[in-house]
Structure formats: C-alpha cells, structure tokens
Amino acid sequence: MSRGEKTTADVVRVVVGDHGVRGHGECVPYPRYGQSVDGVIAEIESVRPALEGGADVDDVQDLLPAGPARNAVECALWDLGARSGRRRASRLLPAHTPLRPLVTAFTISLDTPERMAAVAASAAGRAISLLKLKLGGDGDPERVRAVRAAAPHARLIADANESWSPEQLSSFAPVLAGLGVELLEQPLPADSDDALTGYDGPLLLSADESCQDAASVAGLAGRYAAVTVKLDKTGGIIGAMATLAAARDAGMRTMLGCMVATSLSMAPGLVPAQLAEFVHLDGPLLLARDRHPGLPYDGARVSPSDAVWAT
C-alpha cells in the first residue's frame, strides 16, 4: 500500500438480532482519519440502547456521524431487515435496476517496478482486466511503465494516496495518461486541494481523502472530475447513495471503493456500486483468509450473494 506495508486488516463486526434472526455488518477504522478499533467500538456501544429499543436504518443516520461505526451498524440493520422479510437495501436503487455481478479493479500494492510488473502479469494470466496501481511519488512513471509492459491489454487506474507534489502531478500526469491510466485518485494531500483549482491536465482526478460524504462534494468542483465513495466514509449505503447522487448532479464521475476487509464489507458495497462507473471491491482478494462463506469471485468478477449478506 502507498501508506506503508500492511500485513493485517483490523475490522469491527456488528451483529444485531431480532427473534432469532441475525444481521451482520463490518467496518474498517482508518488511522488516517484518527479512527481506532477501540474508538469505533465505543461509538457503536453508545447506540446500543437505541438499537435495543428498535432503532432502524433511518434512525441511525441521526444517532451516529458518517463514518465506519455508522456503516457497520446500518449494514447490520439492512441485513437483519432483509433476512426478516421487511426491506432490502437493493430497494434503494432506481426502479428496475438489477443487482448484477460487477468487475472490480484488482489492487497492485506499491513496490518496485519489477515486482509490480510480476503481479500484473499474474493478474493478466487470471483474466483480471482492471488493475489499480498504488503509487508513492518518486519512480511512479517507471512503475506504471513496467505494469503496462507486463499487462498490455489491461485497463489501468491508479491511487497516489496523497503522496505527490503539484510538480510531480504536472510531470507525471502526461506520462500516465500516455500509458492509458484512466483515473488517478488523490494525487495531493487533501489539505493541498487549492493547488488543483482549475486543473485541466490529461488525467481524470478522483477525490478520495478529500471526499468524505455528500456534503463534501460541492467543495470539490473545479478541482476534481470524479469522487471515490466508500461506505466507511459515508457511514453506510444511504450515505453512499447520497454521495453518488451529489457527484452526478455536479457532473462528476464516480468510483465505489473499499478498504482492505472481508466479503462482509464488500457485499453491501455491491448495492451502490451498481450506479458507479468504476468499482473497486477487491478486499477479499488481498486477504490470506476471507470470512466463510465469502462472496463469489470469478477472477475479478464479483457477484451478490444472500449467503454472505442479504441484499
């Protein structure tokens, strides 16, 4: 990963029950936003009385702020509602929108050009057609060149994770565009977004750390042409749908992304991902061991499954 080597994924799981039926949700606290497992658990415990009193997905929007705690609780309640025969999260989609399998980007972590190229070649051999490259600053053009040579037919997107300077963006963007990179996430630190005002370079820029929820979209106009939406940022499916709608209204393109987590985190994301132009829900593919049962992946094609999470 661009933020350093990661060997474990710390997740928080929420289980809610009603008359013997259980719903499950999962979230990933992110230190970049000052979050911790203990802090998220404390947030969840703070709403236990309301949940035991019958709070539903709509109530949770007011009980918790946008973020991972609300995401896990809301998704658990959606899962419980579907398994209880009340309402499914897929009903949030526009009428007649099918819940269909989607092609997810597959992440190649930041490494030497040679090692990234080897992963890309392996992915191409498994018919994975969309690669997401984690970048980190110096040497990034060489990394992308190596990946392109190893996977000449793959579609490429990239994530700089706030690691570039404005000068690097100016220098690297034409190279990456020439190599077929379709989208670049968060090249500059979020607090340096002013440097992107009026950006008209060759790369489609997507706001990740700069886009937390629907309310943050308006401030991105004129700087980014796309937003990266994650349930752990928006606080669940309802917030994700609102953020996607705000981006579309602003004429921006969209990606539905994820943290490194299990199928229990990916499954709810498949609902708003039906409306996104780019999909990045490959968390389980990066784990040595997923939850059982896990979502069905065929290469990078992922399908909904009520066995994992009732949609």
Q: 240 and 283 in one domain? A: yes
- DSSP per-residue string spanning 133-183: EE--STTHHHHHHHHHHH-TTSEEEEE-TT---HHHHHHHHHHHHHTTEEE
Active site residues: 134, 230
Q: In this predicted structure, what is the pLDDT of residue 1?
A: 38
Q: 173 and 76 in one domain? A: no
Residue after which a domain boundary falls, among 60, 89, 118: 89
Average pLDDT for runs of 10 along the chain of length 311:
59 96 97 96 98 97 98 98 96 95 98 98 93 98 98 97 98 98 98 96 98 96 96 98 98 97 98 98 95 94 96 92
Q: 189 and 50 in one domain? A: no
Q: In this predicted structure, what is the pLDDT of residue 243?
A: 98
Contacts of 96 (CB under 8 A, 6+ apart): none
CA dihedral 103, 105, 106, 108 (to 10 degrees): 170
Q: In this predicted structure, what is the pLDDT of residue 298?
A: 94
- The CATH number covering residue 72 comes to 3.30.390.10
**Would you say residue 173 lies in a domain?**
yes
Q: In this predicted structure, what is the pLDDT of residue 8?
A: 76
Q: 68 and 24 in one domain? A: yes
Q: Tell me which residue range forms the domain holding 43.
A: 12-89
Q: In this predicted structure, what is the pLDDT of residue 9?
A: 84
Provide the 10 A C-beta neighbour count for residue 5: 8
Query: What's the domain count of the chain?
Result: 2
**Would you say residue 1 lies in a domain?**
no
Q: In this predicted structure, what is the pLDDT of residue 6?
A: 54
Burial level of 4, CB count in 10 A (0-12/13-18/19+)? Answer: exposed
Q: 186 and 78 in one domain? A: no
Residue after which a domain boundary falls, among 89, 123, 147: 89
Burial level of 7, CB count in 10 A (0-12/13-18/19+)? Answer: exposed
Q: In this predicted structure, what is the pLDDT of residue 2?
A: 46
Residue after which a domain boundary falls, among 57, 89, 121: 89
